[in-house]
A = this chain, B = another copy of it.
């Protein structure tokens, strides 16, 4: 995602029968839709152009704090009811394949009875299929109001969470072999970075659950009875996403255990090699040292069978040791 300086505004207006799309609209175009019938979806592809936001805000009667919240792209996921409109702030997530981290983009949704305005940080989004669906005359979205549109937008964002979590799941499975084969500190670092990412994900996804619970249970005059069931459905989806995140976290914890056990295994293996080699050769070295002594009175030294006998004896000792270690599964 690259930033552009040029703020892009697109307007989609539709009702059961009509459909208009204006790919590069101005604030005045937005204002013109203010009181028209049907649903108006204004998408603003930057959240940093303060003057643009202010004029839009004035047109649609947004509170100063709403403008501030939209501008602050590090804002927490939240939902606020301003009577005439609702503000929902979400995070759109994108798995960064190169760095194996999460790209975050804030999506602020403001919606009233007949309009929905979405503010994105960067151009490019996942709403293509939704836009295509709006073009189809008989689609459900064309028959419903702005509340359903928002429900679908949130649904799209939530659906995207699954993909992000799954991508992490794949990274974890890749790492699993590395952890066993060659556990290095870098492996631990990257496991912990996944853990950190999971925590971040949780921070983004968990409050969405609460938002949807509020929207679907307490309701709001801006949300029709018939749309509530759809919000409840997205609410279920968020729970599924949370389950996936929890499972992934558990996998990461399991990996740290495996990592530590692998480390311990490595030390064990090093120890075993040392022990096997030392235990075989230290006694043998003693024996050869014994017959290296310079005592005058060592009759074995002067027998012709002495040297071969001692060699055979040492071979026997070594073979016995090897058999012992084999029995112990050390070699």
Contact = CB atoms under 8 A, between A and B. Distances in A.
Copies of this chain per assembly = 5
A78 B236 contact: yes
A51 interface: no
A322 interface: no
Contact of A307 (B188, B230, B275, B293): B293
A192 B250 CA distance: 10
Given A192-B254, A192-B257, A76 B270 contact: no
A286 to B, nearest CB: 5
Nearest to A330: B270
Contact of A188 (B250, B258, B289, B306): B258
A329 B18 CA distance: 70
Given A192-B257, A270-B330, A274-B275, A63 B295 contact: no
Interface stretch (A7-15, A94-102, A296-304): A296-304
Interface of A: 63, 65, 68-69, 74-76, 78, 80, 180, 182, 185, 188-189, 192, 195-196, 199-200, 203, 229-230, 232-233, 236, 239-240, 243, 246-247, 250-251, 254, 256-268, 270-275, 277-279, 281-286, 288-298, 300-307, 310, 329-330
B297 A294 contact: no
Contacts of A307: 293, 295, 297-298
A306 B203 CA distance: 75
A270 B281 contact: no
A191 to B, nearest CB: 9
B288 A293 contact: yes
Nearest to A293: B291
Nearest to A183: B261
B271 A274 contact: yes
Nearest to A89: B236
A247 B188 contact: no
A255 to B, nearest CB: 9
18 contacts: A63-B229, A65-B230, A188-B258, A192-B257, A195-B250, A195-B254, A199-B246, A256-B257, A260-B261, A267-B268, A267-B271, A270-B272, A271-B275, A273-B279, A288-B292, A288-B293, A296-B304, A297-B306
Contacts of A196: 247, 250-251, 254
A253 to B, nearest CB: 9
B258 A185 contact: yes
A233 to B, nearest CB: 5
Given A65-B229, A294-B298, 19 more contacts: A76-B236, A185-B261, A192-B257, A195-B254, A260-B261, A263-B264, A264-B264, A266-B268, A267-B271, A274-B279, A277-B283, A278-B278, A281-B286, A291-B293, A291-B295, A293-B294, A293-B310, A296-B304, A297-B305
